[in-house]
Amino acid sequence: MIGGCLRRLFVLAVLFAAGAAVWHFRGAIVDGWRQLRGAREGAPLRTSAELAAAAESKLAALGSNSAPERVTLTEAELQSLVDYRLSGALPGFVASPRVRLRDGRIRIEARLMTRRLPDLPELGDFAAFIPDTTDITATGQLIPLGPGRVGLSVAGISVAGVPLPDRLIPLILRRLGRADEAGLPADAFALPLPAGATAAYVHGDSMVLVGGRN
């Protein structure tokens, strides 16, 4: 689920610009998560292959016979998953992907080589004002769905610092293959939780996954 959220958020932002659990979505469409708790905004995170492996071990523990009540993934662990597990699955026109967790929300930042992207008629005249290389930001929030499912509601997309109209979000989600299901808003897509998890939410600058053996 973690890599899937990240990939979907990245691709969502890409599609808006002219165009979200490494765990469950390694083969799916590339689509959304630096310093440990208390890091300052903009401060570089120290990521590592070891942190990525630690995050994967935490997720695997949820499905074990001795599963914990919950596991917590820090920003640094999530960013390590991006750097060491997800980066190779992202398209070549996406650079410097970064994940932030703030105030219960997931924020994805990246640089895009926009002239290498496919046309998006939904953008209309806005596409003509996007530079060859630009910053994109996508913000989303996890929402509860049915058993074993979580939704990622996309709150906004900005390109070169300019917010795009909210009305575009459902259009792009449909283009990404969003399927309707009970309780899922039009501006959100559904994702499976990792094995053994019953819920997920962002708390401060960490992501918490609740186990099913409480």
Question: pLDDT of 4-40, one tens digit each?
Answer: 566 665 555 544 433 333 323 323 323 333 322 333 3
At 138, is the secondary structure helix, strand, or coil? strand
As a whole number, mean pLDDT of residues 73-102 equals: 86
Among 12-21, 71-80, 87-96, 172-181, the range scoring the smallest mean pLDDT is 12-21
Sign of CA dihedral 36, 60, 199, 183: positive
As a whole number, mean pLDDT of residues 89-101 equals: 82
Radius of gyration of the chain (CA): 16
Closest C-alpha to 167, from 25, 16, 60: 16
